[in-house]
Amino acid sequence: MVRLNGIDAETKLLGALILREGAIFELPASFVPEAITSPVGRRVFAAVRAVSEKHRRPELDVVAMEAGLSATEVEWLREVVMQGSLADPTPFAEKLLDGYRRRTLRGMIDEALEQLRSSTDTAEVVGQLMTRLLGLDTEGRPDLADFANSVLASLAAVDDALSGRSKALRTGFKRIDELVLIRPGNLLILAARPGVGKSTLALNIADNIASGGKRVLFHSLEMDDHELVLRVLSRATDIEADKLFAEKGLSPEERDKLVRHADDRTRKLGRGLLMNTTHHTLGSICRLTEKEHRRSPLALVVVDYLQLVEVDLGKNASAEQRIATVSRTLKLLAQRLRVPVLAVAQVNREHERRQMPGRRAEDKAGAETPGLPPPQLHDLRGSGAIENDANVVMFLHNPFAQSTKLWERDHGPFLLTVAKQRAGRRGYVKLHADLAHARFMEVA
């Protein structure tokens, strides 16, 4: 009888991979098959992955055939499945990964001690140990790209752009798309003061992209899925969001209209717009994103909003350190998955004190705006790391924010100012806000 060296975590993990469809896509991206100590267990793991990537259910018989198991090994696998669990396999994978790293690290240290006992130069021992430690840290990450292949890929991207097949993501706002390039692997920041409508604009973009048949994952840290859905329906139906939230006051005609548009949006969005409104830690956001992207590629990931993401750095960590960690991790996530991440962020109050109401100011793009000038990069709340990590930084700004006229204050025109774009130009787009119906429109 083949055994798993008595390690229960391996039994639980392998059992879950067969019992729980799609479990292979829930594992951490850093998990390596070497974390499984049993050779036959590693063969089963590889078989489950191969079967799942073919969009087939990893049933026991199918996995056994894919792995080429003997009759004795098939009997063992049946016992594993009987002891398996339908629970989330992530804790078992993390335990195995931790054990693998500990074993590897002990081996590195033992080898270094042996070298130190010999006549090997100390500097050489330290250098070899550091190199191996860095290798351990980067296991599971993609290999480096060579220049020749990168040149070919870059030329192909230029040809695609010339022929109208650019891989840059389209937001559904023509003038924004003309100015902002949303490329795979980029981190984009959409920042504004509270109440300006940055979450609404981010949701409009997500809705537009998902309606085009692409998959978007929207992590909302301040709205639940009910509120997100009603905002989408308010935009589609022309029924004020307040009426939908109150769940009263709808006329029979509005009720029928709501049902019709709900059916229409369901057909268009299908399962393309995914919403996470319950997992707010940085680790869970990354894990969910990786899981869904491996299940089926994502076109865009939205995080609303950056300063609310929970990260445990210990009680002595400052708010700036926490925000810097979130920003850097989201950038690395975008690069690793080759998916653009749009992170909503807050702007501090300082820019509101720079210009008194009633005066006029000229922004860097040359647009004369009444009252308040657009925010600057240093206005990003909490950390300069956001500015450094982002490929694109956009500020949603209402120059009439201190106006006494309700129409100017709530409807605009608003300015979406691109203050930073590594692979493009800076500039601005005029938008008209209709926050009562949870939507933005472009101004011709």
Strands 392-397 and 216-220: unpaired
| DSSP 8-state symbol, 428 | E
pLDDT in tens, the chain (444 residues): 444 444 578 888 888 888 887 778 777 766 788 888 888 888 999 888 888 877 788 888 888 888 888 988 888 888 888 877 677 777 888 888 888 888 888 888 888 888 778 766 676 666 666 656 655 554 444 455 556 665 666 666 656 655 555 667 888 888 888 888 888 889 999 988 887 889 999 999 998 898 888 899 999 998 888 888 888 888 888 777 777 777 666 777 777 777 777 777 666 666 788 888 888 888 788 888 888 888 888 999 999 888 888 887 666 777 888 888 888 888 888 888 889 999 999 888 776 665 544 444 444 444 444 556 778 887 787 667 788 888 999 999 887 665 545 555 556 678 888 988 887 788 888 888 888 888 888 876
DSSP string of 266-322?
HHHHTT-EEEE-S--BHHHHHHHHHHHHHHS--SEEEEE-GGG-B----TT--HHHH
Nearest Cα to Cα of residue 172 among 162, 182, 163: 182
Judged by DSSP in three states, 6 sits in coil
Cα angle 391, 396, 400; round to 5: 155
Q: Report how far apart, in Å, the C-alpha atoms of 321 and of each of 310, 382, 384 are.
A: 12, 9, 10
- Residue 233 in contact with residue 318, Cβ under 8 Å? no
In 144-242, at which residue ranges do the beta strands (DSSP E only) sit? 187-192, 216-220
3-state secondary structure of 9: helix
The residue type of 93 is A
H runs (alpha helix) in 118-224: 122-137, 147-162, 174-179, 198-211
Specify which residues 440 forms β-bridges with.
433
If one counts every other C-beta atom within 10 angstroms of the C-beta of residue 295, the result is: 15
Nearest to 31 by CA among 7, 51, 9: 9
Contact 68, 103 (CB under 8 A): no
Q: Pairing state of beta strands 300-304 and 187-192?
A: unpaired
Contact indicator for 168, 180 with CB cutoff of 8 Å: no
Do 303 and 219 meet the contact criterion of CB atoms below 8 Å apart? yes
Cα 167 to chain centroid distance, Å, stands at 18
Q: Which domains does the chain have, with CATH numbers?
A: 1-137 (1.10.860.10), 166-442 (3.40.50.300)
pTM, whole model, 2 decimals? Answer: 0.65
Tokens representing residue 229 in the block: 């859905």
